[in-house]
A and B are shown apart, each in its own frame.
Chain A
């Protein structure tokens, strides 16, 4: 099998986080602070990533700012030739530290907002974070770095999407991501309270289209229809072992951040193996790479090189079998599971249960659909 070149490293540098978002999709079992890799260990990994041809390093968590050595880590990734992206809640980021990060070579900062309405946003995040994020956004615009605002959409806030888009416009980012909640971890548990109705979704699609037109050339909008309502599943992580490698705080290398839920897979650790070995040789990265593992209808489907059968973790969570066609696909034998959720849950008035100390990390999973838009030439 041809082994694809990895394009980006997701550096999950800590699982510590001050937020408690209701749709948090972080692993329930977190790496303890005491097992976190050192500055030197991370910098060595960035060097390996650069030599392996990776282009981007995405710093995430937990909350990456919880690492006091973040500036050194950014500088280390830059020195290895990587484009550096910080995915943060912004909690704990003041002017001087932002300045230091930019000087160290930070290329892009990404902040997620829970709502345009402060009270609702703070409730979803389980912390008084909203006002601080607004202030931080103004601070970011004083620097010449790329700025993305990520907005997490679900049934509780989708009816005022236009208001939220207008709110983000005021923050003047380069990019706006409208991310529909995806159903893993806490979000799956809260699905009956988060899943929008079809009518809500259709209004949202119109609102996004109007905003795209109005903001063209100023703010780029990236938005993906939630996979529960799509005909075909999302291209999760750009395909298993095809684009991305995630390293967790303790050095474990994963094809995606939820991969640990899949039973029977063993993951290598960068403390014992090289990135190159893990990418090319490890059984975990090969398990769902390519088409060999595919069941029907994927195996003979025209879409198989587009969506790679969808998300393995979602297949497992919903069908009990990680090697099944993602039930989000309209052709999947288990698609009735999605249809039942839409029928029974999207219109229910179910209440939300909130994680008590779960760390916040939802962005990458949510963006998986359009994240890896690596192009070989302008189209």
Chain B
């Protein structure tokens, strides 16, 4: 199974969704953390993982998501950003959490 193409629009797969924000998770000083709920499991996300999945709204293309993150993390190797994100989404597609 290939990683996303530039024109594909990654989104959460059917039956996967963001969990409700819990008060204790948004205390001042605590790192932002969100949960994706899926059948029989949950994925706790923070930092870049969170940024990527929040971008997977079914509107933005993979190409656009990559470009945004490459701009945001200008210090990092753009090729590495592309391949890491592609791999991350490919893994989540195999788990049926993401579709593209």
Give A residues with C-beta under 8 Å from B. 7, 50, 53, 55-56, 81, 83, 85, 107-108, 110, 144-148, 174-175, 216-217, 219-220, 367, 371-378
Contacts and interface: CB of A to CB of B under 8 A. Distances in A.
A53 B23 CA distance: 11
Contacts of A375: 41-44
Contact of A81 (B19, B39, B40, B41): B19
Contact of B40 (A147, A219, A372, A376): A372
B49 A146 contact: no
B70 to A, nearest CB: 20
Contact of A144 (B14, B37, B45, B94): B14
B39 A7 contact: no
Contacts, number: 80
A83 B19 contact: yes
Q: 7 shortest A-B CB distances, which residue pairs? A: A146-B15, A217-B1, A81-B20, A83-B37, A220-B96, A108-B39, A373-B41
Given A107-B37, A220-B95, A174 B13 contact: yes
Contacts of B1: 216-217
Interface residues of B, number: 28
A174 B37 CA distance: 15
Interface stretch (B61-69, B73-81, B85-93): B85-93
Given A146-B14, A174-B14, A378 B92 contact: yes
B37 A55 contact: yes
B16 A146 contact: yes
A373 B39 CA distance: 10
B91 A56 contact: no
A374 B88 CA distance: 17
Given A81-B19, A378-B88, A146 B39 contact: yes
B37 to A, nearest CB: 4
B33 to A, nearest CB: 10
A174 B35 contact: no
A55 B19 contact: yes
Contact of A53 (B13, B14, B16, B22): B22
B31 to A, nearest CB: 12
Given A174-B96, A378-B43, A378-B91, A146 B38 contact: yes
A220 to B, nearest CB: 4
A160 to B, nearest CB: 25
A309 B2 CA distance: 40
Contacts of A146: 13-16, 38-39, 96
Contacts of B37: 55-56, 83, 107
Contacts of A374: 41-42
Contacts of B46: 377
Nearest to A177: B40
A53 B20 CA distance: 11
13 contacts: A55-B19, A55-B37, A56-B42, A83-B38, A110-B39, A145-B14, A146-B96, A174-B15, A175-B96, A220-B94, A372-B40, A373-B41, A375-B44
